[in-house]
């Protein structure tokens, strides 16, 4: 890889899985790492510092979006042109980061999505989430005019224009499927690459079965709002 690339690792109570995640990230050439401690009550921040990572401590558990945006602001202040989002639970394989950033470096793509459904290994998920993911993918593909197979995977790479936007825009909808529609309407380009997503190293997902059933209705409402709103601007 070339250029300044920063991996943002949002972490909430991930003391058990974080050491292995950070050890794997250290093997990626040219990659810097910041852990955003999202109000953890375990040893997450201590573990991250012991591993040599830069750490930003949020005073309370503010949620995934706030933690990731904090990382974007850190990246913008320090002049990183490319940001990669990596989960702290060990599901994302850092070995895939070079391929994730390649479309940005070689073709100037604004956003690269790691797709769990384009790889050679089939990704398994609970039925409720599988239905929701299929719905998001179908609707989002229609809205952006290209096939998107995985709208909810957090393993993504962002180019300079998206880094600037996400660091300064306060809209809560810059996440998952809705964020893709907003970026498309603003003239940003995106693509997918195959990604290996592994079982969680420890802990439990924050997305339960009830949320998986409710979220599609939230998505439909948010999609209508986004399509009726003024698009964001690419600068």
Neighbours of 157 (CB within 10 A): 28
Residue 233 belongs to some domain of the structure? no
Residue 143 domain flag: yes
**Which residues, at least 6 apart from 46, have a Cβ–Cβ distance to it below 8 Å?**
15
In the predicted model, what is the mean pLDDT of residues 34-44?
98
Q: What is the mean pLDDT of the chain?
A: 87
Q: Which domain holds residue 166?
A: 5-228
- Find the range with the poorest average confidence among 20-24, 63-67, 140-144, 197-201: 197-201
Give the tens place of pLDDT for each residue, 210-223: 455 566 677 777 77
In angstroms, the CA 231 to CA 168 distance is: 15
- Residue 32 is assigned to a structural domain of this protein: yes
Q: Among 8-22, 64-78, 139-153, 172-186, name the one with the lowest average pLDDT.
A: 172-186
Residue 161 within any structural domain of the chain: yes
Contact 116, 38 (CB under 8 A): no
Q: Grade residue 208 by pLDDT with cuts at 50, 70 and 90.
A: very low
Q: Assign residue 80 a region: left if phi > 0, alpha if psi is -120 to 50, beta otherwise?
A: beta
Closest CA to 12 of 51, 50, 38, 46: 38
Gap between the Cα atoms of 113 and 149, Å rounded: 9
Does any domain span residue 25?
Answer: yes
Q: Is residue 92 part of a domain?
A: yes
CATH number, domain of 137, equals 3.90.550.10
Give the pLDDT confidence of 43-77 residue by residue, as tens digits.
Answer: 999 999 999 999 999 999 999 989 999 999 999 99
- 235 falls within a domain: no
Query: CA distances (Å), 101 to each of 19, 85, 115, 177, in order?
Result: 23, 11, 14, 20
CA distance 14 to 12: 6
Q: How many domains, the chain?
A: 1
**79 belongs to a structural domain:** yes
178 alpha-carbon distance from chain centroid: 13
């Amino acid at each position: 890889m070339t250029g300044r690339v920063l991996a943002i690792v949002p972490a909430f109570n991930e003391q058990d899985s974080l050491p292995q995640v950070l050890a794997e990230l250290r093997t990626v050439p040219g990659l810097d790492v910041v852990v955003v401690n999202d109000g953890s009550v375990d040893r997450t921040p201590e573990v991250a510092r012991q591993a040599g990572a830069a750490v930003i401590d949020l005073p309370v558990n503010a949620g995934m979006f706030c933690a990731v945006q904090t990382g974007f602001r850190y990246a913008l202040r320090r002049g990183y042109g490319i940001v990669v989002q990596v989960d702290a639970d060990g599901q994302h394989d850092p070995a895939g980061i070079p391929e994730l950033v390649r479309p940005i470096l070689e073709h100037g793509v604004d956003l690269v999505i790691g797709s769990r459904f384009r790889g050679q290994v089939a990704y398994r998920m609970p039925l409720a989430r599988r239905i929701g993911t299929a719905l998001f993918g179908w609707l989002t593909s229609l809205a952006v005019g290209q096939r998107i197979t995985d709208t909810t995977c957090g393993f993504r790479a962002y180019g300079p224009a998206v880094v600037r936007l996400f660091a300064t825009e306060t809209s809560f909808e810059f996440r998952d499927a809705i964020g893709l529609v907003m970026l498309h309407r603003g003239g940003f380009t995106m693509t997918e690459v195959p990604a290996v997503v592994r079982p969680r190293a420890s802990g439990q997902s924050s997305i339960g079965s009830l949320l998986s059933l409710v979220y599609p209705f939230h998505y439909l409402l948010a999609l209508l709002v986004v399509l009726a709103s003024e698009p964001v601007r690419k600068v």
